[in-house]
Amino acid sequence: MMTGEAEMQLICGQVLDIQSNPFETPVPEAARHLRRGAIAIEAGRIVRVGEADALRAAYPGTETVEMGDALLLPGFVDAHVHYPQTGIIASWGKRLIDWLNTYTFPEEELFDAPDYAMEVATRYLELTTQNGTTSVASFCTIHPGSVDALFACAQARGQAIVAGKTCMNRNAPLRLQDTAQSAYDESAALIARWHGMDRLTYAITPRFSPTSTPDQLEALGALWAAHPDCLMQTHLSEQTDEIAWVRELYPDARDYLDTYEAHGLLGARGLYGHAIHLEPREVDRLAEVGAALVHCPTSNTFIGSGLFQMAALQARGLSIGLATDTGGGSSFSMLRTMAAAYEIGQLTGTALHPAQLLWLATAGSARALHLDHEIGTLAEGSAADLVALDMGATFAIEQRAERARDVWEAIFPTIMMGDDRSVAGVWIAGRRAIG
């Protein structure tokens, strides 16, 4: 449970402040490490970051939280999840479409019960907080109550959350289908009720082209045009058999992306999950409009989807976030997700630096969500959403970290072997939630 904190406080420990994109700026210039640092927070916001002694002198008498050698970072930002799949995480195998029919759709049918939706939403936010995640972008189910549950739970916790009602009107069980009109109307009502309330952002959410008719995609494109400050989240080119299915369903489309583009669902505030098997035209258009891609490495390996081309897509200047994609992803932990991103990078010929992995899990994901002014950063004025990592949480990690020659060697074992045991503290809007 979250606890209240004094109006002004200093959180002291090691501080790692990645101030610019380490894919574009050399790591020594992009990041600042303070061995004895502190973060001053007031009224839920970061006031100042600096050396601990200097901040103690600047703010005498301020309540101080001592985190020892723990590493202080922005809270993790998970840019693509399915909170209704919390209960079915780590379900055995199969391909994407079989997985949806066998596990996902039967579970999502249960969310027509508001109490069940609230139970799972509460459990999900507790699990992710325990893993150091302070913000997520989630698909809900077709039931408006599933959106209400997640937003209400996040609002009570003071969290910055992106979410939306999943829209589907074909190729799904009848109990999980809406219509083009009801998708528009119910999403519009949810936008009016939640979007911009406190720290909540609405995302218009067609699940993916196979589960929406052209009429439904057209309706959701019109809704986005009417509410351009909303985000739009969906899936794109996750598996090769999925792409073949899209070709059958949309024979006139130039490619998968065109099924969205032709219906007003391609734009700068669009979030396209997976994006593994992209055609050159798709990469060109995504880059032209400034859309964001979301890398879901544990899901891509767990369901056998393929290898995301991080280096090539970064070179095109695309905004890229990182995500667990729970429950297709096999972990709630962004540390495990960073480890999987590193492993996939190795398989595609690019060894991602620890600074790049941490950037993807914080500021990179925040940028993809157009929330980098608010979350994923230690910049003055941003929300005091923070995580403290114990870099010796297990004996295996500790014995490797002891050999470290710099902070990057010290933190890399935690990225590769860490989990919720590595999370020593979490703050959401300045209130301590864990530790």
Whether residue 342 sits in one domain with residue 201: yes
401-415 pLDDT per residue, tens? 999 999 999 999 999
Q: Report the 10 Å Cβ neighbour count for 166.
A: 29
Confidence band of 328 (pLDDT split at 50, 70, 90): confident
Q: Is the pLDDT of residue 363 over 70?
A: yes
What is the full DSSP assignment across 32-86? EEEEEEEEEEETTEEEEEEEHHHHHHHSTT-EEEEEEEEEEEEPEEEEEEEGGGG
Last residue of a domain, one of 368, 388, 406: 368
- CATH number of the structural domain spanning residue 228: 3.20.20.140
pLDDT at 36: 97
Whether residue 399 sits in one domain with residue 362: no
Q: Is the pLDDT of residue 424 over 50?
A: yes
pLDDT at 1: 44
Last residue of a domain, one of 368, 399, 414: 368
Which residues span the domain enclosing 194? 76-368
Q: Is residue 1 part of a domain?
A: no
**How many domains is the chain built from?**
2
Whether residue 169 sits in one domain with residue 111: yes
Whether residue 101 sits in one domain with residue 19: no
Tokens of 256: 């998968």
- CATH number of the structural domain spanning residue 39: 2.30.40.10
What is the full DSSP assignment across 333-361? -HHHHHHHHHHHHHHTT----HHHHHHII
pLDDT at 391: 96
Whether residue 137 sits in one domain with residue 28: no
Provide the residue type at 35 as one letter: R
DSSP state of 422: G
Whether residue 397 sits in one domain with residue 327: no
233-251 pLDDT per residue, tens? 999 999 999 999 999 999 9
Whether residue 28 sits in one domain with residue 133: no
Q: Is residue 327 part of a domain?
A: yes
- For residues 64-84, give the mean pLDDT: 97
Q: Is the pLDDT of residue 2 over 60?
A: no
Q: Is the pLDDT of residue 6 over 60?
A: no
d(CA 25, CA 356): 10
Whether residue 294 sits in one domain with residue 218: yes
Q: Is the pLDDT of residue 283 over 60?
A: yes
* Full-model pTM: 0.96
85-111 pLDDT per residue, tens? 999 888 786 766 777 888 888 889 999
Whether residue 30 sits in one domain with residue 105: no
Last residue of a domain, one of 346, 368, 390: 368
Tokens of 386: 């923070």
Whether residue 407 sits in one domain with residue 355: no
Whether residue 193 sits in one domain with residue 48: no
Q: Is residue 317 part of a domain?
A: yes
Q: Is residue 373 part of a domain?
A: no
Whether residue 277 sits in one domain with residue 203: yes
Q: Is 69 exposed, middle or buried (0-12, 13-18, 19+ CB in 10 A)?
A: middle
d(CA 358, CA 109): 36
